[in-house]
A and B are shown apart, each in its own frame.
Chain A
Amino acid sequence: MSSANTAAATEQAKPFLSINNIEVVYNHVILVLKGVSLNVPPGGIVALLGANGAGKTTTLKAVSNLLHAERGEVTKGSIVFDGTEVQSLSPNEVVRRGCIQVMEGRRCFAHLTVEDNLMTGAFTRRDGKAAIAADLERVYAYFPRLKERHGSTAGYTSGGEQQMCAIGRALMSRPRMILLDEPSMGLAPQIVEEIFEIVRDLNQKERVSFLLAEQNTTMALRYANHGYILENGRVVMDGEAKALASNEDVKEFYLGVAGDKRKSFRDGKHYKRRKRWLA
């Protein structure tokens, strides 16, 4: 699929996931997201970029409805996944409908074997043992390393293997959309590349859409179709991945090219502030 086509699809197709101007508050007082809007088209890979603390994880958790466990709450706006308002669903219902989060820091079940970890991902499924066993083999086909280590205690596998385990575990729920939070964190560059290649494979062969939160802007923009840049709980810029990657301000702030005293993206000379009330 050429990027021009993707862009056209982004404009026309009804978004698979749409986040409309949401605000999120933690502990009833800390306002963290201040009106975030973004769309993920069916079959798209959308990157959510931004520095540490920008609100990427919070955005993903708002979608997967995991904020309650952190005393967070969506106080404004709406999130629609595949035609359903997400806020009224419990976290397991969101998973059952095909949208699952792979949490930051991988979060494998340390004392379970790799295979048991994968099988926990099938908890919400009702389609029988045979289908689940077939999917386990499919996951092993994408991640041959997991097959080698299927009996190992997950806590003792390498960081890369744990990331694969976490993604494989999510795949076992038969998702149509994965919210992938910082998969590159703490991993060696070749491993990061290996994981991103698999993400692309899953996207193309299994038609899984991705919303990908990353600080590794270079990598994320290489694999995504579209990107959003988050700063202090607001989307400050968005665009086609290629356009973002060649944008002067993005280069300067997130790709490590040049670098002077400017503190915020807002000060960028090429960036004209745009209001984004609605996507």
Chain B
Amino acid sequence: MVLFGQFLEILIGGLLSGVLYSLVALGFVLIFKASGVFNFAQGAMVLLAGLALVRSLDLLVANGFPFWTAIILGLVFAGIIMAVTAWLVERFVLGPLVNQDGLTLFMSTIGATFVLEGASQMIFGSDVYPLRLFPTDAWFLFESSFPGGILVNKLDVWGGLIAGILVAGLAIFFQRTKTGRALRAVADDHAAAQSVGIPISWIWFVVWLVAGLVALVAATVWGTKLGVQFSITFLALKALPVLIIGGFTSIPGAIVGGLIVGAGEKLAEGFLGPHIGGGIEYWFAYVLALAVLLVRPQGLFGERIIERI
């Protein structure tokens, strides 16, 4: 029973921290699906969104704005920054490179990463900025069934909730709106989408904007956990195995992949760690990704490829 309680605690903690990986992977998938671009800059976008939010928040609070007003204004400001970024990327990076091959576009997003990282730190500063949006204390659940109960971080629960709302919102956007439908059309066939009058550059702007807003959501949770700081960009590296496991083109894949990696690495650390030495957490995701690559190269949820008749 004690062991089971420990297992549950690690599993829940792992799943909830995996939500963050899911959020970052989601940003990748959105852009990859719609434009075939592997966006190396997704981690830099989380940093930029976090810095824009925390710095404007601090400034507003220092100038006597009530906390909740400041949060709303801060989120709006960060949202606008992400929109401007999306526009700049479309206008000056992807637009001019239209019809280039995937590798060229990938390289261009590496360039964009450095520009974004440099610019965001130059404008907003390069310290560690604490963000306090969500409670960070813990709950103890099921104290009657397990000795000491199961410890659950409130922040992780908030993260899970917000991610759930975000995914539901994206699902509605993609399935029910005209722009969402156009996005799926572009993801299927650029040229055909253009032939029916869907403006590709507008769609790319919308995709980068949505990915920017997803980055902002990731930044609120991650920033509360560890403070907004440069190391947030390393999140992007964790997203890679998540994408390999879930499949580059699948939104549910990004979510499930993130959860698998989150839960898997925590469980491995908790149960295997004591036997084979710690630090499993740091490489577990990559080994798992390799295993998936060998067995199912398109990932668990990789899109069925429909051959045209």
| A residues adjacent to B (C-beta < 8 A) | 64, 66, 69, 71, 90-92, 94-96, 100-103, 105, 107-112, 116-117, 119-124, 153, 155-156, 158-159, 162, 169-170, 173, 186
Contacts and interface: CB of A to CB of B under 8 A. Distances in A.
- 9 interchain residue pairs of minimum CB distance: A95-B197, A155-B306, A107-B192, A124-B197, A109-B188, A92-B197, A110-B306, A120-B185, A92-B199
Contacts of A92: 194, 197-199
Given A91-B199, A92-B199, A155-B308, 10 more contacts: A66-B194, A92-B197, A102-B195, A103-B191, A107-B195, A110-B188, A110-B306, A112-B181, A119-B178, A121-B197
Contact of A109 (B192, B197, B303, B309): B192
A123 B199 CA distance: 9
A266 to B, nearest CB: 33
Interface of B: 98-99, 178, 181-182, 184-185, 187-199, 303, 306, 308-309
A111 B195 CA distance: 17
A123 B99 contact: no
Nearest to A153: B306
Contacts of A173: 196-197
Nearest to A103: B195
B197 A91 contact: yes
Among A100, A109, A122, A169, the one with the most B-chain Cβ atoms within 10 Å of its Cβ is A109
A94 B306 CA distance: 30
Contact of B185 (A91, A112, A155): A112
B48 to A, nearest CB: 30
Contacts of B197: 91-92, 94-96, 100, 121, 123-124, 173
A99 B88 CA distance: 31
A122 B189 CA distance: 17
A66 to B, nearest CB: 6
A66 B195 contact: yes
Contacts of A109: 184-185, 188-189, 192-193
11 contacts: A66-B194, A92-B197, A94-B197, A100-B197, A103-B192, A108-B192, A111-B303, A111-B306, A116-B185, A153-B306, A186-B309
A72 to B, nearest CB: 11
Contacts of A101: 195
A170 B198 CA distance: 12
B181 A116 contact: yes
B309 A158 contact: yes
Nearest to B187: A111
A95 to B, nearest CB: 3
Given A107-B189, A111-B188, A153-B306, A119 B181 contact: yes
Given A95-B196, A124-B197, A170-B196, A162 B309 contact: yes
Contact of A91 (B182, B184, B189, B195): B195
Contacts, number: 90
A46 B54 CA distance: 63
B182 A120 contact: yes
B308 A69 contact: no
A110 B181 CA distance: 13
A156 B193 CA distance: 19
Contacts of A121: 196-197
B188 A156 contact: no
B270 to A, nearest CB: 40
A61 to B, nearest CB: 9
Contacts of B190: 69
Contacts of A64: 195
A254 B219 CA distance: 65
Nearest to A119: B181
Contacts of A66: 191, 194-195
A123 B196 CA distance: 8
Nearest to B309: A159
Contacts of A71: 99
Nearest to B203: A123
Among B99, B190, B194, B306, the one with the most A-chain Cβ atoms within 10 Å of its Cβ is B194
Contacts of A96: 197
Contacts of B182: 120, 123
Nearest to B182: A123
A146 to B, nearest CB: 16
Given A109-B184, A153-B306, A69 B191 contact: yes
B171 to A, nearest CB: 14
A117 B188 CA distance: 11
A123 B188 contact: no
Nearest to B184: A112
Nearest to A90: B199
